[in-house]
């Protein structure tokens, strides 16, 4: 990307999204330095530290891409609050302990906390995508709802592919089995469907 384009972005008016992404980037960096690194090695061992740096690099890259693509959009506060919720429940899974184990290992009705995270993230992700469709003057109908579900599944599939790369490159990684990956995708589609259902119930658009 041309340097002058980045320079124009830097000197333009500061937006809500700028502040939101800066705060969360700083928060993630501080947590990596002071907490996440130590806890990762505690639960996974130093032999798997490449996994930690891989995830961290991907997260910062995604934040940068989101900033470039959407910073000119006047993102409403409720979208930022919902997005922050997805970030916090993810961090909670890594840092909160239940009976000496990470919250990610906690099970409710035999379902791991991780699956609830996938479900909630997909639910909120569907809200965000529908907002972007409306922002770009798309009428919310059956086709857009279907595209939203497929988009959420696609994003989830990319994450699972990244985890697959980890299984190929890092010994004794903490990704889990093939069944775990598929259950993640199942949780994603459940969350996305619920999210769209909640949106339709609240907005009551004329579906065609």
74 vs 11, which has greater pLDDT?
A: 74
Q: Containing domain of residue 87, as a range?
A: 3-203
DSSP of the chain, one letter per residue? --HHHHHHHHHS---HHHHHHHHHHHHHHHHIIIIIHHHHHHHH-GGGHHHHHHHHHHHHHHHHHHHHHHTTS---HHHHHHHHHHHHHHHHHHH-EETTEEGGG-EETTEEHHHHHHHHHHHHHHHHHHHHHHHTT----HHHHHHHHHHHHHHHHHHHHHHHHHHHHSTT-SS--HHHHHHHHHHHHHHHHHHHHHHHHHH-----
Count of domains forming the chain: 1
Is 208 a domain residue? no
- Position 44 in a domain: yes
- 75-114 pLDDT, tens digit per residue, is 788 888 888 888 888 777 767 777 777 787 788 888 888 8
Domain contains 198: yes
With respect to residue 130, please indicate whether it lies within any of the assigned structural domains.
yes
Is the overall model pTM greater than 0.85, yes or no?
Answer: no
Assigned domain for 73 exists: yes
For the segment 130-189, what is each residue's pLDDT rounded down to a tens digit? Answer: 988 988 888 888 899 999 999 999 988 988 888 787 777 766 666 667 788 888 999 999
């Amino acid at each position: 990307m041309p340097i002058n384009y980045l320079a124009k972005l830097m000197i333009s008016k500061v937006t809500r999204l700028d502040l939101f992404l800066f705060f969360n980037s700083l928060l993630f960096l501080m947590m990596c330095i002071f907490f996440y690194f130590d806890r990762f090695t505690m639960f996974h061992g130093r032999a798997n530290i490449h996994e930690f740096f891989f995830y961290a690099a991907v997260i910062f890259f995604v934040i940068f891409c989101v900033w470039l693509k959407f910073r000119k959009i006047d993102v409403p506060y409720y979208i930022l609050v919902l997005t922050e919720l997805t970030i916090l429940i993810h961090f909670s899974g890594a840092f909160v302990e239940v009976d000496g184990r990470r919250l990610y290992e906690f099970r409710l009705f035999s379902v791991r906390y991780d699956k609830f995270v996938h479900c909630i993230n997909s639910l909120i992700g569907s809200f965000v995508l529908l907002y972007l469709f409306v922002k770009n003057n798309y009428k919310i109908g059956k086709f857009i709802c279907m595209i939203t579900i497929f988009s959420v599944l696609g994003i989830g599939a990319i994450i699972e592919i990244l985890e697959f790369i980890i299984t190929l490159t890092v010994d004794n990684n903490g990704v889990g089995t093939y069944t775990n990956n598929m259950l993640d995708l199942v949780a994603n589609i459940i969350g996305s469907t619920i999210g769209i259902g909640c949106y339709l119930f609240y907005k009551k658009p004329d579906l065609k």
